[in-house]
Amino acid sequence: MRLSRYFLPVLKETPSEAQIASHRLMLRAGMIQQASAGIYSWLPLGYKVLRRIEQIVHEEQIRAGHIPMLMPTVQSAELWRESGRYDDYGEEMLRISDRHGRDMLYGPTNEELITDIFRSHVRSYRDLPLTLYHIQWKFRDEIRPRFGVMRGREFLMKDGYNFDLTKEDALHAYNRHLVSYLRSYERMGLQAIPMRADGGPIGGDYTHEFLVLADTGESEVFYDSAVTDLSFGDRAIDYDDVEQCQGILEEFTSRYARTDETHDETLFADIPEDRRRSARGIEVGQIFYFGTKYSEPLGATVQGPDGQSTPVHMGSHGIGVSRLLGAIIEANHDDKGIIWPEGVTPFQCGIVNLKQGDAQADAACEDLYAALTGRGLEPLYDDRDERAGAKFASMDLIGLPWRITVGPRGLKAGVVELTSRRTGVSEELSPEVAVARVAEIYA
């Protein structure tokens, strides 16, 4: 993409409503624009990152054997009355009525709909196990939205639902989700720690929350520092292997790690003192096993091998896709701007032309652009007629992990400069080597 043809409305000054780094930087980098309290338009740059995150979530869910679909945002109140949650959910649910005066709602979650789909079509235990998920916009009418996309009213969320014949099968589904979530977060450059959590309005007593450590997090967390040494890495995983999934769950959840909701001072005190940590965390996902809580009232049953009708065991699992942008920025920024992890960056590499209009510099940039594109990468070429300082400031702000700087001075010596946004370290390289280096980083 050439910056002169893109839409990137960066701000030099910070809009006054933004309090925390991620909100401030998303506004300044031209990623989002507030439409009303807690509701945002996603401008091209923000939309690009949102789609990257969404893509990672899709890939990892499909890899785990879960099946993508899409349910509507607007739902009928009928199903919610049936489950008993229409009254329980409270003011947080946005209630609307259609032209006929029928009660409708903008879905805050999808247990009712998915269960209805399931009970309409699934009759036999032979159709199990089944895990369906979708990535769709939700609305929760927060009393006080804040922190930009971290705590919006409208938000994009992946939510999935597993249906199993037995509790054992459902717990394996639970484990699969834990593993697939760990992989997803790691690909986004985040360390998200599974912590024992509270069921909340979704219900269920078997549940973990995934938290990213950050000073601006909404939750207070307590953990054994040994959990932050764990990483998934690129280990091979067979999602049908019950023992392997169980082993990974144990590896990642056996050490003490809890939010303040479930924190237990006595257990915490058993951790060696030098490993005890308390910090703040941003919740980026949660998984639940809730047994037959929804399948019984809604009549989601299958016939078992014995011919008896039995309610299915269910679980649900969510990843806050839009809020992840905020979490990633909270965990990856400095005073100049965002620093995208390679896995989610909107463009893999920036090209800064220090002297737009100089025939040699222009040609060198065009060559780099073509070479990077040819390697399957998407560079952002700053071809505006701006001063070097302005171009650098914009690049630093939008946070592309790598930048190639091209100027007449370097070209005389046959080199361009490859700079890491994260470390600030620059290397002078021939254009060919610089391209090869960037391609290798993303290989």
Partner RNA sequence: CGGGGCGUGGCGCAGUCUGGUAGCGCACCUGUUUUGGGUACAGGGGGUCGUGAGUUCGAAUCUCGCCGCCCCGACCA
- One DSSP character per residue, 393-411 reads HHHHHHT-SEEEEE-HHHH
Pairing of the two strands 130-139 and 206-213:
unpaired
> What is the torsion angle, in degrees rounded to the nearest 10, for the CA atoms of residue 291, residue 296, residue 302 and residue 303?
110
Could you tell me the smallest distance in angstroms from the CB atom of residue 127 to RNA?
Answer: 30
Rule CB under 7 A: say whether 396 interacts with RNA.
yes
The 186-225 site mask, x for binding RNA (CB under 7 A), equals: --------------xxx------x--------x-------
Rule CB under 7 A: say whether 36 interacts with RNA.
yes
- In this complex, which beta carbon is closest to RNA, that of residue 85 or of residue 153? 153
Helix%, strand%, coil% for the chain, nearest 5? 40, 30, 35
Rule CB under 7 A: say whether 155 interacts with RNA.
yes
Please name every residue paired with 397 in a beta bridge, in sequence order, or none if there are none.
none
Q: Quick one: which of 142, 342, 362, 366 contacts RNA (CB under 7 A)?
A: 142
Rule CB under 7 A: say whether 10 interacts with RNA.
yes
**CA distances in angstroms from 115 to 35, 69, 162, 173, 349, listed in the order given:** 33, 14, 10, 17, 44
Rule CB under 7 A: say whether 397 interacts with RNA.
yes
Which positions from 319 through 348 interact with RNA, judged by CB under 7 A? 320, 322-323, 336
Q: Quick one: which of 24, 66, 313, 355 contacts RNA (CB under 7 A)?
A: 355
Tell me the window of 65-73, 114-122, 148-156, 232-240 that interacts with RNA (CB under 7 A): 148-156
The SS3 of residue 161 is: strand
Rule CB under 7 A: say whether 405 interacts with RNA.
yes
Could you tell me the smallest distance in angstroms from the CB atom of residue 381 to RNA?
Answer: 16
- In this complex, which beta carbon is closest to RNA, that of residue 169 or of residue 283? 283
Tally Cβ neighbours within 10 Å of residue 172. 22
Tell me the window of 229-237, 340-348, 363-371, 408-416 that interacts with RNA (CB under 7 A): 408-416
Q: Quick one: which of 118, 147, 256, 290 contacts RNA (CB under 7 A)?
A: 147
Please give the distance of CA 332 from its chain centroid, rounded to a whole number. 14
Q: Residue written as tokens 């090209």?
A: 351
Q: Quick one: which of 270, 376, 409, 430 contacts RNA (CB under 7 A)?
A: 409
Q: Residue written as tokens 């938000």?
A: 155
Q: Quick one: which of 302, 354, 380, 400 contacts RNA (CB under 7 A)?
A: 354
- In this complex, which beta carbon is closest to RNA, that of residue 125 or of residue 294? 294
- In this complex, which beta carbon is closest to RNA, that of residue 130 or of residue 406? 406
Tell me the window of 167-175, 183-191, 314-322, 368-376 that interacts with RNA (CB under 7 A): 314-322
Tally Cβ neighbours within 10 Å of residue 275. 14
Q: Which phi and psi angles does 357 have, rounded to 5°?
A: 100, -20
Could you tell me the smallest distance in angstroms from the CB atom of residue 60 to RNA?
Answer: 18
Could you tell me the smallest distance in angstroms from the CB atom of residue 219 to RNA?
Answer: 7
Could you tell me the smallest distance in angstroms from the CB atom of residue 385 to RNA?
Answer: 8
Rule CB under 7 A: say whether 289 interacts with RNA.
no
Which residues neighbour 70 within 8 Å (Cβ) at sequence distance 6 or greater? 134, 135, 136
Q: Quick one: which of 408, 414, 427, 430 contacts RNA (CB under 7 A)?
A: 408
How far is it, in rounded angstroms, from Cα 361 to Cα 375? 21
The 70-109 site mask, x for binding RNA (CB under 7 A), equals: ----------------------x-----------------
Judged on CB neighbours under 10 Å (0-12, 13-18, 19+), 230 is middle
- In this complex, which beta carbon is closest to RNA, that of residue 82 or of residue 218? 218
Q: Quick one: which of 70, 143, 236, 425 contacts RNA (CB under 7 A)?
A: 143
- For 173, how many CA atoms within 13 A lie in the half-sphere containing its CB? 31
List helix spans (H) across 217-344: 242-253, 265-269, 295-298, 321-331
Rule CB under 7 A: say whether 373 interacts with RNA.
no
**CA distances in angstroms from 65 to 62, 345, 349, listed in the order given:** 5, 26, 33
Judged on CB neighbours under 10 Å (0-12, 13-18, 19+), 417 is middle
- Contact call for residues 328 and 188 (beta carbons, < 8 A): yes
Contact footprint for RNA (CB under 7 A) = 10-17, 19, 34, 36-38, 92, 140, 142-147, 150-153, 155, 200-202, 209, 218, 283-284, 286, 318, 320, 322-323, 336, 354-355, 386-390, 392-394, 396-397, 405, 407-411, 417, 419
